[in-house]
Amino acid sequence: MNIILSEVETRVLGSLIEKDLTTPEYYPLSLNALVHACNQKSNRHPLMNLDEDAVRQALRSLNQKELAGPADNMDSRVSKFEHRLQEAFNFTRHELAILCELLLRGPQTPGELRSRADRMHAFEDLGIVQSTLQRLMKREPPLAKLLPRQQGTKEARYAHLLSGDMESWAPEPDSGAAVTRISADSERIARLEHEVAGIQKEFADLKQQLAAFQKQFE
Contact 78, 122 (CB under 8 A): no
Q: Which residues constitute the domain of residue 37?
A: 1-90
- Whether residues 81 and 121 share a domain: the answer is no
Contact 127, 34 (CB under 8 A): no
**pLDDT score at 166:** 73
At position 91, the amino acid (one-letter code) is F
Positive or negative, the CA dihedral 123, 71, 6, 23 is: negative
Sequence-ordered alpha helix ranges (H) in the chain: 7-22, 31-38, 52-64, 85-89, 93-105, 110-117, 126-137, 175-215
Domain end position, chosen among 90, 107, 131: 90
- Whether residues 13 and 70 share a domain: the answer is yes
Backbone angles phi, psi at 5, to 5 degrees: -95, 145
Contact 98, 117 (CB under 8 A): yes
Backbone angles phi, psi at 158, to 5 degrees: -105, 145
- Whether residues 13 and 25 share a domain: the answer is yes
DSSP characters over 122-175: --SSHHHHHHHHHHHHTSSS-SEEEPPPPTT-SS--EEE-TT---S---PPP-H
**pLDDT score at 118:** 94
Q: Mind listing the pLDDT tens digit for each residue in 99-121?
A: 999 999 999 999 999 999 999 99
Q: Mind listing the pLDDT tens digit for each residue in 168-210?
A: 555 555 544 444 343 445 455 555 655 666 676 676 767 777 7
Domain end position, chosen among 58, 90, 122: 90
Q: Mind listing the pLDDT tens digit for each residue in 49-70?
A: 999 999 999 999 999 999 999 9
Contact 119, 23 (CB under 8 A): no
Q: What is the count of structural domains for the chain?
A: 3
- Whether residues 106 and 167 share a domain: the answer is yes
Full-model pTM: 0.75
- Whether residues 21 and 70 share a domain: the answer is yes
Q: Which residues pair with 81 in a beta bridge?
A: 29, 70
Average pLDDT, the chain: 86
Q: Mind listing the pLDDT tens digit for each residue in 149-171?
A: 887 788 899 999 999 987 655 55
Backbone angles phi, psi at 81, to 5 degrees: -130, 150
- Whether residues 69 and 39 share a domain: the answer is yes
